[in-house]
Structure 1
Amino acid sequence: MAERGFKVRALGEIAIRTANLEAMVAFYRDTIGLEVLAGNYSDGIVFFRIAEGFGGHTSVLALFDANAGRPELAPSDAPVAGGAGSTLHHIALSLPFEEQDAVRAWYDSRGIVYRVQEFGWIGWRGIFTTDPDGNTVELVAYDPSMLDPAG
């Protein structure tokens, strides 16, 4: 434990403000395969389960409808910016290395454009695509055989 008395142990939530909630929900549910958490989503927020998380808090992706007319959902007056205009570089979601071929086959069957990048210095391979708002989404996996001793 650090001298500050606390230590972050997991990612709790990724929250994205979107002007295209319906398309974003369809992408993360139908293309990426995240489970929509049960709830009343008439209020402009949709939560997806990413993983079990830590201490009873499920790790989630939250989509906030920028057009919901609720100021608390848009803490900034700045317009919604996706893709290159966003300050978000990318979202990386982990899965087993053995499932990456299935990701590529799934994307190919749906005509989804993607790229694959290997990170030998850390033993990761990522499959990158974009969501309907233009945000980069990576499905990343670790494989020790990919570690490059040269870094």
Structure 2
Amino acid sequence: MNIDPNITLGPVRLRITNLAQSITFYRDSLGLTVLAQDEQTATLGAKTTPLVVLDQHSTAKQLPNNSVAGLYHFAILLPNRKELGFVIRNLIAQGVELGQGDHLVSEAFYLSDPDGNGIEIYADRPRETWTYEANGDVKMTTDPVDWQSMLVEAGEEEWYGMPADTVMGHVHFHVKSLEAARKFYVETLGFDVAADASRMRALFLAAGGYHHHIGTNVWAGVDAPETPSDAVGLSYWTLIYPTEASREAAVSAIEQTSYEMNRTGDAIYVTDDAGITVRLALAPSE
């Protein structure tokens, strides 16, 4: 089965320890908007587009980096380089520690939320500038970002937070094995292999010719233990299908496997062998 090329990604749901602290970070540092909030949970997004759902678990433990299967980072895609420059300018002003990578197809920065959940913020280069290996894999690397020119693009303009056309660009996971990741994301969900980076112990998967919607790696070790439910981390990520028929095709494929699947209202949840859960959602009708 091939996945619908028009799929998109929706919000990630995270376990965090202090809701007020996390809201301050996501709102004031990253520029997201609080869309809904109660005592234990908050939804934040880019203007009206939800990107992150936070659930407070005040006693949740924080595990060492790269020690379990689960979230490596979720990646928020800005519509252009100038908008990314605004975010970077704000983060630098606040003294937030950043990693960086020019991946040829995109320019990206890396940081963590107050509980150590990994975040990437990035902007794509135009698709017509992407290049490919002889086998068809998209070429990606990690070079330094020319962040100074990005700040020049942002200039001194006032910033009003992440714009409405900001989206969840991709998600990246520590998995138990690349073979198991291929079985779930390619053979079951129907993603294409965008780049086989197995020499780097990673595999990048996509729909519709994108550079990647899903990143997987075994940098936490082959057969890494699952993230326990009493630790901070990912509860689920969201895969949005454009039509009911495309989602039901996915459900039919999953039903032929041993993966755990649950329906709750209009949402369908599936968990892979690494304990990573995806919520299969439908795009809102026009």
**Is TM-score (shorter-chain normalized) higher than 0.5?**
yes
Kindly provide the amino acid, as one letter, of the partner of residue 102 in structure 1. Answer: F
Give the distance between the partners of 1:46 and 1:28, measured in 2 at CA.
11
Aligned partner of 1:128 in structure 2 is 110
Q: Which entry has the higher C-alpha Rg, 1 or 2? A: 2
Change (3 A) 1:24 1:30: same
Aligned to 1:66: 57
Checking the alignment, whether the CA contact within 8 Å between 2:31 and 2:87 is kept in structure 1 is no
CA distance in 2 between counterparts of 1:59 and 1:21 reads 17
2:77 alignment counterpart: 94
RMSD over aligned CA atoms reads 3.0
Tell me the equivalent position of 2:119. 137
**Could you tell me whether the CA contact under 8 Å between 2:33 and 2:47 is conserved in 1?**
no
Cα separation, partners in 2 of 1:9 and 1:3, compared to 1, 3 Å:
closer
Question: What secondary structure does 2:91 align onto?
Answer: helix
1:108 aligned partner: 92
Report the alpha carbon displacement of residue 3 of structure 1 after superposing the two structures with TM: 7.7
Q: Quick check: 1:66–1:80 contact (8 Å CA) kept in 2?
A: no
State how far apart, in whole Å, the 1-side matches of 2:93 and 2:18 are: 24
Match of 2:62 in 1: 81
Deviation at 1:88, TM superposition (A): 1.0
8 Å CA contact retained: 2:43, 2:50? no
Number of residue equivalences: 130
Q: Give structure 1 regions of 4+ aligned residues with deviation exceeding 3 angstroms.
A: 79-83, 145-150
For normalisation by structure 1, the TM-score amounts to: 0.70
Task: Check the 8 A contact 2:108/2:121 in 1, yes or no.
Answer: yes
CA distance in 2, matches of 1:33, 1:82: 27
Q: Does 1:9 align with 2:7?
A: yes
- Cα–Cα, structure 1 residues 115 and 148, in superposed 2: closer, same or farther, change >3 Å? farther
Question: Comparing both chains, which one has the higher relative contact order based on Cα–Cα distances under 8 Å and sequence gaps of 6 or more?
Answer: 2
- TM (norm. structure 2) is 0.40
Checking the alignment, whether the CA contact within 8 Å between 1:114 and 1:129 is kept in structure 2 is yes
